[in-house]
Amino acid sequence: MKMMNAIVAGAALLVLAVSALAADGDAAAGKQKTALCEGCHGIPGYKTAYPAVYPVPKLGGQHASYLVKALQAYKSGERSHPTMRAIAAGLTDKDMADLAAYYAASDVKTAGK
């Protein structure tokens, strides 16, 4: 039971940390960092062809904490899309928070619409 409580507490702290990081993002700075994102996510209706064909997700209007968590998962290898892993590998925590703030605050016309 103590182990389960520790796991739950750890998960709660992780959620709070991700939320705090996303809240610290600067949307204006994030807009300046979207060049790599726009190559796929900036094309309405775009579908990727590698590693499988599927619609590229819409970023505009997503919750900032979700976007940060997704980018962290690509960077850590928890999520395995090769292009996203390569892009996320070069992002700092601040970059992730800024990008998340930008996309969360906007309803930019992006893929997956």
pLDDT tens track, the chain, 113 positions: 776 666 655 555 554 444 444 458 999 999 999 999 999 998 888 998 877 888 999 999 999 999 999 999 999 999 999 999 999 999 999 999 999 999 999 876 554 54
Q: How far is CA 96 from the centre of its chain?
A: 7
Does residue 60 lie within any of the structural domains?
yes
The pLDDT, as a whole number, for residue 16 is 47
Q: Are 62 and 104 in contact (CB under 8 A)?
A: yes
Look up the pTM and report it. Answer: 0.74
Per the structure, how many domains does the chain have?
A: 1
Distance set, CA 28 to CA 32, 87, 101, 107 (Å): 7, 20, 8, 14
Q: Could you tell me the residue range of the domain that residue 25 belongs to?
A: 2-104
Could you tell me the CATH number of the domain that includes residue 98? 1.10.760.10
Does residue 111 lie within any of the structural domains?
no
The pLDDT, as a whole number, for residue 48 is 86
The pLDDT, as a whole number, for residue 51 is 76
The pLDDT, as a whole number, for residue 11 is 54
Cis amide leading into 51 (omega within 30): yes
Does residue 110 lie within any of the structural domains?
no
Distance set, CA 45 to CA 38, 77, 78, 99, 103 (Å): 13, 26, 26, 21, 17
The pLDDT, as a whole number, for residue 8 is 55
Does residue 28 lie within any of the structural domains?
yes
The pLDDT, as a whole number, for residue 49 is 83
